[in-house]
Amino acid sequence: MRMAEAAGATVFAAAAGVEVDQIRDATGGRGVDVAFEAAGDPEAVEAAVGAVRPGGRVILVGIPCDDRISFTTSVARGKDLVIHVVHRMKHTYPRAIRLLQTGRVDMQSLVSHRFPLGQVSEAFAVGNARTGMKVVLEPT
């Protein structure tokens, strides 16, 4: 959340759907235009569908653990939402590398944890628990 706030975002902590009411209150009941779901968590998808305005978009970026995701379709249909599933790797690497090389994107600020290679188990545990933004294993 610190990183999102540093980038200028208004942060609403995930709380089993309570954040939907907070988001709707913050937008005067309207909802957001676009909701990005990046956790791959069913509750987060449900919250994104609930928080977006009628006619809005829900972008599913997260990869669910069991390769399935669901949401309340009556809410999505009632709002006439556009649901877009993102395949994150299609032709993005060359552009991402250029953005890094030119300094337009600061990747270092996204790294929340660093581990030496000898602590690979700990690094994977942190990544699997999703307690940080990006976990880096350093070979030396």
Rounded to whole angstroms, the Cα distance separating 55 from 79 reads 6
In tens, the pLDDT along 10-29 reads 777 776 767 888 888 889 99
Q: Comparing C-alpha atoms, which of 83, 79, 77, 91 is closest to residue 61?
A: 83
CATH of 2-85, one of 3.40.50.720, 3.10.129.10, 3.40.50.20, 3.40.50.740: 3.40.50.720
In tens, the pLDDT along 102-138 reads: 988 888 878 889 999 999 999 989 888 877 778 999 9
Residue partners of 36: CB distance under 8 A and separation at least 6: 48, 59, 61
Query: What confidence score (pLDDT) does residue 1 get?
Result: 62
Q: Is the dihedral of CA 83, 71, 35, 44 positive or negative?
A: negative
Rounded to two decimals, the pTM is 0.65
Domain ranges of the chain: 2-85, 93-138
Question: Residue 100: in which H helix or E strand, if any?
Answer: helix 93-101
Tens digit of pLDDT for each residue in 28-37? Answer: 999 999 998 8
